[in-house]
Amino acid sequence: MFNRLRYLTSGESHGRALVCIIDGLPSNLKLLPEDINRDLARRQKGYGRGGRMKIETDSAQILSGVRGGKTLGSPVSLIINNRDWENWQEIMDPEKPPLAAFKIDGREKQVTRPRPGHADLTGALKYGHRDLRNVLERSSARETAARVAVGAIAKKFLSEFGIRVLSHVTEIGGAGLKMNEHKAQLTDLKTFEDVFTKAEASEVRCHDRKAEKRIIAKIKDAMKRGDTLGGVFEIIISGVPAGLGSYSQWDRKLEARLSYAVMGIQAIKGVEIGAGFEMARNPGSHGMDEIYYRAQGAKRRQTKKNPPETAGGFYRKTNNAGGIEGGMSNGMPIIVRAAMKPIPTLRSPLSSVDINSKKKFKAAYERSDTCAVPAASVIGEAVAAQVIADSFLEKFGGDSMDEISRNYENYLEQMMKF
């Protein structure tokens, strides 16, 4: 899927560390650990998070590909140590087999009861594991910390060209924003900035204080019942020039690549672009974004401080398409919405069957969250940023920041003359 900016992650939830390698970054991009750690900290916040967040304080260490605070153009490798590793060494040691005892300090050495809604059973069948821990350790959402680290680097790159990737929560457990009113505002850059600023100050990453109170009440109720909640979050990408992606092949369409990346986040079950499913319910006369034109004076040309949403040239007054038409960015803000299912690990567990004895049991409980939608929105930013950065590099090429900047400036000049 990724053509220019590729990455791999590795590591188990309770293993020694998470590791990732990013290939394709240009040289001379300013990059420091704090650029990454800022988003790692954001991922760990949110009302309804579990005990793991009290143990881990994620920070990334840059191992290679950066010198003197700037990328070299070679692969960048990162490591995020798991602080909880100290408590799990006897169970997760890569070399020594686990001790014979069935439990160590109250934790099961071997897990044989698959949890409904998790990868446990299907993963065991696929890979031939009799210990479900071999599945749940890697399928855990703990892995997303590595993707957030990669996404933070992608966001740092995009910021050099005036592109911002923001997110906020629209609903949790059925409580949230009045979406008809909210969707009507999806063309205003100032509105996006205001939404993001307020969301960052919210425990549930919701910018509307009345909706925030309704959401927190829902989470509190779920906590009392030993239940979990899912929800919906929205990613807004501003400053994207027209022309990223392509109509020429299905797998080069920008909305397809964004959907693929967002659906790859654990527990995501649905993705829509722009007005999404609402467009399917309305006639075409209500769903298309009419095209207008304004003269492009020198002061209106697209730059870092004057993004495509406010620059001269072709524009739309509505944004039902969510910034993508025909598989390509059209210069309007890109809007991606994702639905996250409730976390399937419950304190009041559901019925399951032991894979060895085949007897009915209540599914095993691993320490978990009541709600992780606010964290998922930060992860959504990360994977969306990776796609946009990859598409940007695919379009404008170059091995250094200077070369890419020249190519980008030439493209903007070309669009001015169209």
**What is the reported pLDDT for 299?**
47
Mean pLDDT value across residues 91-102: 73
194 vs 73, more confident: 73
Residue ranges of the domains in the chain? 6-416
What pTM, to 2 d.p., does this model score? Answer: 0.92
The pLDDT-based confidence of 54 (bands split at 50, 70, 90) is: low
188 — pLDDT class (breaks 50, 70, 90): low
User: Which of 3.60.150.10, 3.40.50.620, 3.40.50.300, 3.50.50.60 is the CATH number of 6-416?
Assistant: 3.60.150.10
Q: What is the pLDDT of residue 174?
A: 94
104-108, 277-281, 301-305, 373-377: range with highest mean pLDDT: 373-377
Q: Does the pLDDT of residue 101 top 50, yes or no?
A: no
For the cut 60, the answer to whether the pLDDT of residue 393 exceeds it is yes
**Residue 59's pLDDT is what?**
95
* Residue 288 clears pLDDT 90, i.e. is over it: yes
Q: What is the pLDDT of residue 313?
A: 82
> ∠ CA 79-52-204 to the nearest 5 degrees?
100
Residue 136: per-residue pLDDT: 94
pLDDT band at 294 (very low <50, low <70, confident <90, very high): confident
Q: Tens digits of per-residue pLDDT, 215-264?
A: 999 999 999 988 999 999 999 999 999 999 999 999 999 999 999 999 99
Q: What is the mean pLDDT of residues 173-201?
A: 80
Considering only residues 115 and 23, tell me which one the structure prediction assigns the higher pLDDT.
23
Most confident of 1-15, 88-102, 324-338: 324-338
- As a whole number, mean pLDDT of residues 77-106 equals 79
Any residues with CB less than 8 A from the CB of 56 and at least 6 apart, and which? 44, 82, 83, 84
How does residue 187 score in pLDDT terms, banded at 50, 70 and 90?
low
Per-range mean pLDDT, top range of 51-55, 206-210, 293-297, 392-396: 392-396
Q: What is the overall mean pLDDT for the chain?
A: 89
